[in-house]
Structure 1
Amino acid sequence: MNQDVLILIDIQNMYFAEGAYPLHEPEKAAEKAAILLKKFREEQKPVIHVMHRFPVGDQAEGRYLLGFNEAVLPQAGETIIEKDYPSAFLQTGLKETLDTLHAETLVIAGMMTHMCIDTTVRAAQNYDYKVTVIDDACTTKDLVWKGETIDAKTVHNSIMASLQGTFATVMGIDKFLQQK
């Protein structure tokens, strides 16, 4: 049995305005991810939430920042994978979980486009998964290279352009919903 599996990567409070690593318009990306999550739940398809572990200590604020954003809180029965590296596959149980689910197609959304989304999507190719990235349910931040700031929108679009075709099918939430 072949399954579509939703993987939401690092949609954690850390990346919103109150966090240590605020991204470009994370609320908009989380809103689109929530629509995607709702669709998978309605269709009773598997959902995996990936959480990046940051060194924030045990204080209440640290636990809050590590937590998933309220727009995409996991429900009972949904898998949570914790990771320490940009790739959700590296030294985690993600591959084994996907094998158990008989996953063939991964639908991916989350934070940060230039880091964890890019790395995980490229790693998925090593396991022969078909991947769909929902680009408006992802976001990133401005980057600096050679003393110049590259705005988040350009960073995001560059990564999506490089993933499209070879590593994934990239589309917006509206197109994805129309296909289903």
Structure 2
Amino acid sequence: MTTLPDRPHTALLVIDVQIGVVATAHDRDRVLANIVSLVDRARSQEAPVVWVQHSDDDELKRGSEAWEYVPELAERREGEAVVHKTYRDSFEDTDLERRLAERGVGHLVVAGSATDFCVRSTIHGALTRGYDVTLVSDAHTTEDLSEYGAPTPDKVIAHMNLYWAGQRAPGRTAATVTTADVVFGQR
């Protein structure tokens, strides 16, 4: 029930699954396998796949090896949008909104990294902009920042899934589902 008029389509939004972002991510291989599965399913159901790629002046310099998408997801198809960002929210100072509007997208299925930074900021940004947002509970990850006082990654991920499953906004839906339960198409 997106609040965006004439936006019946669902897109897969893959956030920051870059070599330098997921190098030490929690449960990396299982999460990447789930994201690969989601990309394959979206393509087979003709749902748009939108790739988000973060850069900064420190560890993710544009064009560096760390900035590149992981090899498991390196093959993007012609026509699949790539959105370059420098803020945690994938909508901030990018062309993401325009690209989604062009594709008639009002519902986002979200996977990627990092759960507690770019994923969280983007799903909030999407919901406040009128999108329905489904977080794929077993297809997002983060690194261990517990030495800085954060919970361990498994707890960060579990909390995000619990928190997002209960999120509400007028005229929009928020949900969490597993990779196996994701459905693309019109809403």
Within the alignment, does 1:169 sit opposite 2:183 as a pair? no
Higher RCO (Cα < 8 Å, 6 or more apart): 2
Residue 101 of structure 1, aligned match among 81, 100, 103: 103
The answer (yes or no) to whether the contact 1:14–1:65 under 8 Å persists in 2 is: yes
Question: 1:30 is matched by which residue type in structure 2?
Answer: L
Q: Residues 122 and 149 (structure 1 numbering): CA distance in 2 closer, same or farther, change over 3 Å?
A: closer
Q: Greater shift after overlay, 50-59 or 73-82?
A: 50-59
Identical pairs, percent: 24
How far does residue 15 in structure 1 lie from its aligned partner after superposition?
2.5
The answer (yes or no) to whether the contact 1:132–1:170 under 8 Å persists in 2 is: yes
Distance 1:58 1:172 in 2: 29
The answer (yes or no) to whether the contact 1:7–1:108 under 8 Å persists in 2 is: yes
Q: Which runs of 5+ in 1 are unaligned?
A: none
Per the alignment, in what secondary structure is the counterpart of residue 150 of structure 1? Answer: coil
Aligned length: 174
Q: Which position in structure 2 is the counterpart of 1:150?
A: 151
Q: Any residues of structure 2 matched to 1:1-180 within 5 Å, and which?
A: 2-17=8-23, 22-55=24-57, 63-73=64-74, 74-144=76-146, 148=149, 150-166=151-167, 168-176=174-182
Distance 1:110 1:12 in 2: 9
How far does residue 23 in structure 1 lie from its aligned partner after superposition?
1.5
The answer (yes or no) to whether the contact 1:135–1:160 under 8 Å persists in 2 is: yes
List structure 1 segments (4+ residues) > 4 angstroms apart after TM superposition.
56-60
Q: Residues 119 and 148 (structure 1 numbering): CA distance in 2 closer, same or farther, change over 3 Å?
A: closer
The answer (yes or no) to whether the contact 1:56–1:63 under 8 Å persists in 2 is: no
How far does residue 70 in structure 1 lie from its aligned partner after superposition?
1.7
Q: Residues 149 and 53 (structure 1 numbering): CA distance in 2 closer, same or farther, change over 3 Å?
A: closer
CA RMSD of aligned residues (A): 2.6
Per the alignment, in what secondary structure is the counterpart of residue 182 of structure 2? Answer: helix
How far does residue 144 in structure 1 lie from its aligned partner after superposition?
3.5
Q: Which runs of 5+ in 2 are unaligned?
A: 1-5, 169-173
Deviations 1:126-169 (A, max 9, x none): 22111111111100122348x64521000111122111131521
* TM superposition score normalised by structure 1: 0.86
The answer (yes or no) to whether the contact 1:142–1:155 under 8 Å persists in 2 is: no
Per the alignment, in what secondary structure is the counterpart of residue 66 of structure 1? Answer: coil
Distance 1:81 1:59 in 2: 15
* TM superposition score normalised by structure 2: 0.83
